[in-house]
Amino acid sequence: MAISKCFLCGDYGRMEDHHLFGGSNRKNSEKYNLVVKLCPIKCHREGPKAVHNCKETMDTLHEYGQLKFMREQNATIEDFRKIFGRNYVEDDEMNECHFTGRIVRAPELRHTKDGIPVCTFAVAVAKGYGDKQRTVFPEFTVWRKTAEFAATLPKGIMVAISGEYDERPWTDRDGNKRKSSEFEVGTLEVMEWGKMPSADRMPEGSPEGSPEADEKAETPTAPISNAYAAYADDDELPF
């Protein structure tokens, strides 16, 4: 066994593979790369919080595995259930959607009347499997510092997004009542840092997952949280 990092405790050493879904789903775990490295004693088999001794740890890894599958496969909860037999995600996360795809146009950065940055963009996402696969183009909205970062993303770059579906009413300049459908971005991850513009275009304080942050983390991811902006009185942003 090669020296690697434990997924749970972060220690380095000789690790063992743990299939996030075992039994009849062991092959599915291998097929969809749902396997993590765990230290043999403390986290895998014998410790009080080891996955094979602690239901809480097992449940956490099951939930992580399902969300990973849904994000990477652009799958729904029902898609996951059809393959793995059940749903492991807590109720408070069931409304969260996960997407992986390429930005189809340059993100558009605007500001509310209060000066809050807001960025919108669309992503080409493959939906379905096999002969039934098709491409959809969901719209995303991101706020504040993350909006400034999203505005630097070029057309065509691959991103992974988690967010919640939302509908919001707004009034245009002629007084007409309208309603927009969108996904509010919760986390945004750049999958192809080599295609990013030069670092001087990134906002101050590069997010996790950037080349700078990769020096501090083994896995290059960019989870960026967003507090939803107050926009009830903003009639200047028709999207």
* pLDDT 10s digits, 95-104: 567 778 888 8
In a domain, 152, yes or no: yes
Question: What is the domain extent for residue 108?
Answer: 96-214
- For the chain, the maximum distance between any two Cα atoms, rounded to a whole number of angstroms, is 68
Residues lower than pLDDT 50 in the chain: 92, 199-239
Instruction: Check the CA dihedral 57-60-66-71 and report its sign.
Output: negative
Boundary (domain end) residue, out of 62, 91, 120: 91
Q: Is residue 224 part of a domain?
A: no
Residues 24 and 73 in one domain: yes
On whether both 74 and 130 belong to a single domain, the answer is no
CA-closest candidate to residue 163, choices 140, 181, 196: 140
The pLDDT value given to residue 21: 93
How much is the pLDDT for 193? 65
Q: What angle do CA 89, 93, 91 make, to 5 degrees?
A: 65
Specify whether 103 is located in the same domain as 166.
Answer: yes
pLDDT confidence of residue 200: 36
- Name every residue whose Cβ is closer than 8 Å to that of residue 126 and which is 6 or more positions away in sequence: 74, 101, 133, 134, 135
The predicted pLDDT at position 197 comes to 60
pLDDT at 194: 63
The CATH code of the domain that includes 183 is 2.40.50.140
The dihedral sign for the CA sequence 195, 126, 70, 31: negative
Total domains, the chain: 2
| 97 strand-pairing partners | 163
Domain shared by 38 and 147, yes or no:
no
**For residue range 29-51, what is the model confidence (pLDDT) as tens digits?**
999 999 999 999 899 988 888 99
Domain assignment present for residue 176? The answer is yes
Tokens of 121: 């963009």
Domain boundary among 66, 91, 116: 91
- Verify that 208 and 101 share a domain, yes or no: yes
Question: Do residue 126 and residue 187 come from a single domain?
Answer: yes
**Given this model, what pLDDT does residue 167 score?**
67
Q: Which tokens hold the place of 133?
A: 């696969």
175 and 100: one domain? yes
